[in-house]
Structure 1
Amino acid sequence: MKLLTSGILLLTFSLIVNGYNILGIFPHPGKSHFDVFEPLMKELTKRGHQVTVISHFPQKRPLPRYEDVSLRNTAPIRMDVFDMNGFKLSRFEQYYDVINLMNVGQSSCENGLSSQPLKDFLSSDRKFDLIITEFFSNECFLGFVYRFKAPFIGISSCLLFNWHNDLIGNPSNPSYIPNNFLPLSDKLTFLERVENTILGIVQNTFVRIFMDNLNSKVALEVFRNDLPPLRNIAINASLVLVNSHFSLNLPRPLVPAVIEVGGLHIGEAKKLPQVIIIETNNKIFFV
């Protein structure tokens, strides 16, 4: 009995010491997205896990237990100071945002999966205990879940899109849950509910007919022909982490597999500097 107990304790401690081998897949070239995911991956290394991260933003300095598979220079990086006037879209123009997302996703898929670092990575005999991958508009990278046969967690840097809720069976009742692409509250008029419903149907149909097919086409060229439909892979997510919180985003029902982790990327508060420089209208003020 003592021998059995000692053996169990030894096995437990060995698992704790060795940690898990985790693959993070973040192929979207937006720095704001990666800023949400990077602290999570770094924290996993601090807790003893080995992480491999596919992204456009490799570490500038090597970190213990952190390995980069760089997609740098495979797509234009979306990191700049934006003119907010450019975001003032008309109601009609907002319906086409999903097309922009599809184009960005297709570009990420084609350029990323054809890059030499990913080709070398795919040809390796690596094994992973867990995969964490972004849910956005580049589901072609779900082929890695099939390739490495590991359980996976989805993560989103923003509110889940309508079609992602549909994928994982999360309630998205258009009578009181506004679509991300519309400037609506949860106090909807009858006409707003009609518009909310129609847009959701249009988006889900568009994603199924166009976005899913484009993602699948690219994925099939890289992974084996017996790759199952990407939608079938996505619905098997063990968990979905979402950068949202009911105190900022409207409260809504969530299935147990969807966990709000709003502020996951926010570190410890730092003291303000003694001098704050504010630049506005070409004038500099010292506070």
Structure 2
Amino acid sequence: MRTLAILLVAIFAVNVQSARILGLFPHTGKSHQMVFDPLLRTLAERGHDITVVSFFPIKNPPANYTIVSLEGLAAQGVETIDLSYFDIQNKLLNSLGIEKIIKQIFDFQPLADMATAICSNIVDFVPLANAMKKSYDVILVENFNSDCMLGLIHVYGLKAPYISLSSSAMMQWSADRIGVTDNPSYVPLVSSEFTSQMTFLQRLENTILNVYYKTWFRYAIQMKEKAIIEKRFGRRIPDLQEIAKNVSVMLVNTFHSLNGVRPLLPGVVEVGGMHLDHSRKPIPHVSKYFVIA
């Protein structure tokens, strides 16, 4: 009987199949990639065949971890934020009550220029083209300021389901693609300081920016990226907004105890803290002497 059990275990162990996974991460922000790298490395260590397209290739990758480095295609975003910017106040705008609105709008604008510039470069990048000509079981795509990779997935005819990864809370233009409600009367924008309990004026500001960001993303990024791809490959492609709705699952770097309760769907999974190193030493016992009032 023991021999039969061992034989069955051996048969099933041999029959285990790993997945071929493609990871597409076109953003130049180091902090974003730091969230995804532990997941990608763990998948490889558990036997999956991983191909990762990124501006920040990891060091000492596992044997079944293939790197397609985007280094050199754009300047990397490492330690580029001048925090003194947040101390500067405009008295006129502040007196009118619109300073925070203007700041949020201007803070997002560089993301559009960054997205279209990177898209213009990667459409001609041969190593990326070679990687996307292979077949995969699942595709992981960063969801932040660009949908260029989604257009390329369509161009190269990849049929694998794709999973969207966000290193932050859900962006304003992300909710629609998976059918999540983002009613601005009680769902604050990722760029705001509001909670779900907002005053009338805060709700008004939240609503205005909600409409603005969605319009901005569509015309300043999506439509331009679509034009870049069509010009490069000489043919029309579907609206990137429609391609984006084919997402199967969205992993979001939030957790309701910290980010607040949101109306989500089963297709949206909160994975806040998945990048943390749990092998490190636990918090010292001295912490028990601190009391949260």
Q: TM-score range by the shorter chain?
A: 0.7 to 0.9
**8 Å contact kept, 2:151–2:226:** no
**8 Å contact kept, 1:171–1:255:** no
Structure 1: tracts of 5 or more residues without a match: 1-7, 273-287
1:81 CA displacement: 6.6
Q: Paired residues, what number?
A: 262
Matched, 1:229 2:239: yes
SS in 2 for 1:73: coil
Judged with a 3 Å threshold, the aligned counterparts in structure 2 of structure 1 residues 223 and 153 are, in CA distance, closer, same or farther, namely farther
Judged with a 3 Å threshold, the aligned counterparts in structure 2 of structure 1 residues 62 and 256 are, in CA distance, closer, same or farther, namely closer
- Equivalences for 1:90-169 in 2 at 5 Å? 90-91=99-100, 92-122=102-132, 124=133, 126-146=134-154, 147=156, 148-169=158-179
Q: Which runs of 4+ in 1 moved over 3 A?
A: 8-15, 87-90, 119-122, 221-224
1:113 CA displacement: 2.6
Q: Per-residue CA shift, 1:115-142, capped at 9, x if unaligned?
A: 33224434x4x11010000001120111
1:9 CA displacement: 9.5
Q: Which residue of 2 aligns with 1:3?
A: none
Q: Per-residue CA shift, 1:34-77, capped at 9, x if unaligned?
A: 11111111111122110000001123334221000110111111
Q: Which residue of 1 aligns with 2:225?
A: 215
Q: Which residue of 2 aligns with 1:280?
A: none
**8 Å contact kept, 2:152–2:229:** no
Matched, 1:67 2:75: no
Structure 2: tracts of 5 or more residues without a match: 1-7, 89-98, 283-293
- Measure the CA separation in 2 of the matches of 1:181 and 1:61: 36
1:214 CA displacement: 0.9
The normalised TM-score by structure 2 is 0.82
The normalised TM-score by structure 1 is 0.84
**Which amino acid is 2:269 matched to?**
I
1:194 CA displacement: 1.1
Identical-residue share of aligned pairs (%): 37
Judged with a 3 Å threshold, the aligned counterparts in structure 2 of structure 1 residues 242 and 232 are, in CA distance, closer, same or farther, namely same
Q: Which residue of 2 aligns with 1:191?
A: 201
1:251 CA displacement: 1.2
**8 Å contact kept, 1:19–1:49:** yes
Judged with a 3 Å threshold, the aligned counterparts in structure 2 of structure 1 residues 144 and 15 are, in CA distance, closer, same or farther, namely farther
- Measure the CA separation in 2 of the matches of 1:251 and 1:226: 41
- Measure the CA separation in 1 of the matches of 2:248 and 2:116: 25
